[in-house]
A and B are shown apart, each in its own frame.
Chain A
Amino acid sequence: MPITDEVKLDDGSKLGSLTKKIRGHQGMIIGSVIVFAVIAIALLAPLLAPHDPYEQDLMKRLLPPFWDSRGSWEHIFGTDHLGRDYLSRLIYGARISLLIGIGAALISGLIGTIMGVMAGYFGGRVDMVVTFLITVRLSMPVVLVALAVVAIVGGSLQVVITVLGLLLWDRFAVVMRSSTLQIRSMDYVAAAQAVGCSVSRVLMTEVMPNVVNNLIVITTIEIAHAIILEAALSFLGLGVQPPLPSWGLMVSEGKDMMLFEPWLITIPGVALFLLVLAINLMGDGVRDITAPENRN
């Protein structure tokens, strides 16, 4: 072969193969579309909502949604027991769910990642302490503890975010610990240590980039988890307080009338289900694309 011949190399376009993988993953596409749509709705809530979500009109109580023969297009999803526009409340409710999910996952992610990475990297005593703390945390019933704390401290958006953030770090810690443990035994970590990199530098430049895929997957799981828990807490009356349009609270407020007006609980319930489903699909997609060997 003459040396002038052009040798076709794999251009190694990572982006190209990534888009191909994403395209092949239907679940991830559906999930991402819904998630980004909900984010857009939450951000643009003041523009999209046809009415004020807090404005009561007792002359227009419990109007049915448009598909009902008594429904009208003025209130597409009808009105609740105080005459507030249901669609507008649903739209503003997306803000609460996302805020809770992302806020709680940020707090718990920070706690869990620090604990897990430290345990996996240093091993020994540090690992023993972290593993012990994880066991203690798993032994405490989440819903019960969260309800008790909210009842004592008082329910508000900030309290719910903080309480969930302080309770949901266990999965972050477990997964970050085991992935760091794997990375720590790699040659390139030993090489970095050998050339005298500081611990923080090894952690930031060698360990973190290699565990970030797992971190993203766990973050999506915990965002979904926090959203469901907030809805359950608010449903039980010990989460976000009225008149905030939390979807769990909307189900709770509609519960007494669900036998006659089932749409009062169907609409916010479906919204909750779709959002959580979409976040999970997105997380599954990230996992399948970045680390197919971790699939189970």
Chain B
Amino acid sequence: MLFYSIKRFGLATLVALTVSFISFGLLYLSSDPAIAMAGETASDADIEAIRKLYGFDRPILVQYLDWLQRAIAGDLGKSYYFRTDVSSLIGERLPTTMMLGVSAITFAIVFSVPLGVAAAIRPNSIIDRIALFLSVMGQALPSFWFALMLIILLSVNLRLLPTSGSDTWLHFVMPTVVLGYYAAPAIMRLTRTGMLEVLSTDYIRTARAKGLRPSVVLFKHALRNAIIPVVSLAAVQFGFMLGGSIVVETIFALHGAGFLAWESITRNDLPTVQGLILVFSLFYIVLTFLADLLNAWLDPRIRIS
């Protein structure tokens, strides 16, 4: 287990370094960042001054190593637009996004795991068909459009929920549903497949044969084993959600990190965009690392091979 953990940790670090290099390099894709900062009306002398001030005149690799060194120490530079530290800016906004992400993944799991189990108990039954129908529909629904339809229905017509802001828990209801429904089909399908597989094994037959109550067989013996792959899928989906929060937070004007991403992208605020890409990627890497460890701990076969 220790060897496995060290190996995974090394891999995660390597991935994180590569991601940091890409997110750094991404923004040097186009024209000169000094021109982008100075604005189109700036004189050549101004642009040159900014280039010197921010160190854009140095080789890219030197700039990267410098940036990386400071990023590891928690300094992601200064935002061009907000004129404050990028790290504290992201730190301020992250709790909102985290809350949204946690409630969205909880919503997705609470909705899809029971549905997946019910579908697996009676394959091809009406419940199974409804579950399949919902998952096919859910996968085709564009989230930004779904969000607008919910606003029209729940806020405008029924006047049940507020349309924007992040003051009360009511503000989180629609964003949670919009962010969560997209992950639900995958979790539902994996729960169903896992349950179907486990329910046909010998030990379930034995458990049934010795007269255990069906609910004990189902939840204690079957679901425990079927849920293992769902755990890592949920971790992955949670990571995707943080990245996908940009659309949802923009529509509902929820002032989290996703909204910050949209603000900084539209304002050419490169350090903030870089910082956000890095932070979102690191979250995903940490999540999948933890999910791998959890899986290896739950299932010894993984850590041995």
Known pairs A151-B268, A238-B265, A277-B136; A228 contacts B148 (CB<8 A): no
Contact of B265 among A132, A151, A258, A280 (CB under 8 A): A151
A143 lies within 8 A of B247 (CB):
yes
Known pairs A272-B145, A276-B140; A141 contacts B247 (CB<8 A): no
Query: In the complex, which residues of chain A have a beta carbon less than 8 angstroms from the beta carbon of B26?
Result: 145, 148-149, 152
Q: Count of chain B residues with Cβ under 8 Å from any Cβ of A?
A: 52
A148 lies within 8 A of B14 (CB):
no
Total A-B Cβ pairs within 8 A: 132
Complex Cα spacing A122 to B232, Å? 28
B73-116 interface (Cβ within 8 A of A): none
Give the most central of B14, B148, B246: most A CB within 10 Å: B148
Closest to A272 in B: B142
A139 lies within 8 A of B285 (CB):
yes
Contact of A143 among B19, B239, B246, B266 (CB under 8 A): B246
- Smallest beta-carbon distance B124→chain A, Å: 12
- Smallest beta-carbon distance A79→chain B, Å: 20
Q: Does A92 contact B (CB under 8 A)?
A: no
Q: Does A197 contact B (CB under 8 A)?
A: no
A280 lies within 8 A of B143 (CB):
no
Complex Cα spacing A238 to B246, Å? 13
Closest to B145 in A: A269
Known pairs A259-B152, A262-B152; A141 contacts B144 (CB<8 A): no
A212-250 interface (Cβ within 8 A of B): 224, 228, 231-232, 235-238, 248
Q: Does A251 contact B (CB under 8 A)?
A: yes
- Smallest beta-carbon distance B275→chain A, Å: 11
- Smallest beta-carbon distance A224→chain B, Å: 7
| Residue interface bits A250-265, CB-to-B below 8 A is 1, else 0 | 0100010011001001
Known pairs A273-B140, A284-B136, A296-B193; A139 contacts B15 (CB<8 A): yes
Known pairs A273-B145, A284-B136; A135 contacts B11 (CB<8 A): yes
Query: In the complex, which residues of chain A have a beta carbon less than 8 angstroms from the beta carbon of B265?
Result: 147-148, 151, 238
Complex Cα spacing A1 to B246, Å? 75
Q: Does B47 contact A (CB under 8 A)?
A: no
Query: In the complex, which residues of chain B have a beta carbon less than 8 angstroms from the beta carbon of A235?
Result: 144, 247
Known pairs A148-B27, A148-B265; A143 contacts B244 (CB<8 A): yes
Q: Does B41 contact A (CB under 8 A)?
A: no
Q: Count of chain A residues with Cβ under 8 Å from any Cβ of B?
A: 44
Query: In the complex, which residues of chain A have a beta carbon less than 8 angstroms from the beta carbon of B144?
Result: 231-232, 235-236, 248, 251
Complex Cα spacing A27 to B193, Å? 20
Chain B contact residues, majority secondary structure: helix
Complex Cα spacing A65 to B288, Å? 49
B30 lies within 8 A of A152 (CB):
yes
Query: In the complex, which residues of chain A have a beta carbon less than 8 angstroms from the beta carbon of B261?
Result: 144, 147
Closest to A259 in B: B156
B29 lies within 8 A of A140 (CB):
no
Query: In the complex, which residues of chain B have a beta carbon less than 8 angstroms from the beta carbon of A90?
Result: none
Closest to B182 in A: A228
Query: In the complex, which residues of chain B have a beta carbon less than 8 angstroms from the beta carbon of A138?
Result: 236, 284
Query: In the complex, which residues of chain B have a beta carbon less than 8 angstroms from the beta carbon of A106?
Result: none
Query: In the complex, which residues of chain A have a beta carbon less than 8 angstroms from the beta carbon of B23?
Result: 140
A141 lies within 8 A of B242 (CB):
yes
B142 lies within 8 A of A232 (CB):
yes
Closest to B268 in A: A151
Other than the given A259-B152, A280-B136, 13 more pairs (CB < 8 A) read A132-B11, A135-B11, A139-B16, A139-B281, A143-B244, A144-B280, A228-B142, A232-B247, A236-B247, A251-B144, A266-B149, A269-B148, A273-B145
Q: List 15 A-B contacts (CB under 8 A).
A: A139-B285, A141-B244, A143-B243, A145-B26, A148-B27, A148-B277, A232-B142, A232-B144, A235-B247, A236-B262, A248-B142, A258-B152, A265-B145, A272-B145, A281-B136
In the A-B complex, the 10 residue pairs with the closest CB atoms: A141-B243, A277-B140, A269-B145, A296-B193, A276-B140, A152-B30, A141-B280, A139-B281, A139-B284, A151-B265
Give chain B's interface residues, CB within 8 Å of chain A: 11, 14-16, 18-19, 22-23, 26-27, 29-30, 136-137, 139-145, 148-149, 151-152, 156, 189-190, 192-193, 236, 239-240, 242-244, 246-247, 250, 261-262, 265-266, 268, 273, 276-277, 280-281, 284-285, 288
